[in-house]
Amino acid sequence: MKISVIKELLGAEVVCGEDQLDREVYSACGSDMMSDVLAYVKDQAVLLTGLVNPQVVRTAEMMDMVCIVFVRSKSPTAEMVALAREHGMVLLKTTKRMYEACGKLYANGLVGNGVAR
């Protein structure tokens, strides 16, 4: 699924990475626990989270993720935006809650890691 489609489905605002909305992601993970992300996420995924600290971007970068969606209108800090730009990541934010955001993406064909439809 293209990141531009995720943006539209979630009514999300682009925080950074506007030039990369045509990138493809193949799975998604919704978590506020970065230890779970490290344990279960594979590359080319999108992370949905309500956690706002630089460790989120560092974890996503370590896992070769290309997009982070902040739920519940959370806004990343300037430090997080700078880190994301440095690593070529897209940051989005949405007013939707985690449950609804994950459900919308799943219902539209974006699967979780290791899940075949």
pTM of the model: 0.92
Residue 54's domain comprises 3-107
Q: Answer whether residue 62 is part of any domain.
A: yes
Structural domains counted in the chain: 1
109: tokens are 């064909």
74/70 Cα distance (integer angstroms): 6
Q: Answer whether residue 117 is part of any domain.
A: no
Q: Answer whether residue 48 is part of any domain.
A: yes
Phi first, then psi: what are they for 100, rounded to 5°?
Answer: -65, -45
Q: Answer whether residue 84 is part of any domain.
A: yes
29/84 Cα distance (integer angstroms): 18
Q: Answer whether residue 82 is part of any domain.
A: yes
CATH code, domain with 44:
3.40.1390.20
How many other CB atoms are there within 10 angstroms of residue 38's CB atom? 12
Q: Mark out the alpha helices in the chain (DSSP H runs).
A: 3-10, 34-40, 54-62, 78-86, 98-107
Q: Answer whether residue 89 is part of any domain.
A: yes
18/71 Cα distance (integer angstroms): 18
117/115 Cα distance (integer angstroms): 7
Q: Answer whether residue 46 is part of any domain.
A: yes
Q: What is the pLDDT along the chain (117 residues), one digit of tens a residue?
A: 999 999 999 999 999 999 999 999 999 999 999 888 888 776 668 999 999 999 999 999 999 899 999 999 999 999 999 999 999 999 999 999 999 999 999 999 998 765 444
Q: Answer whether residue 116 is part of any domain.
A: no
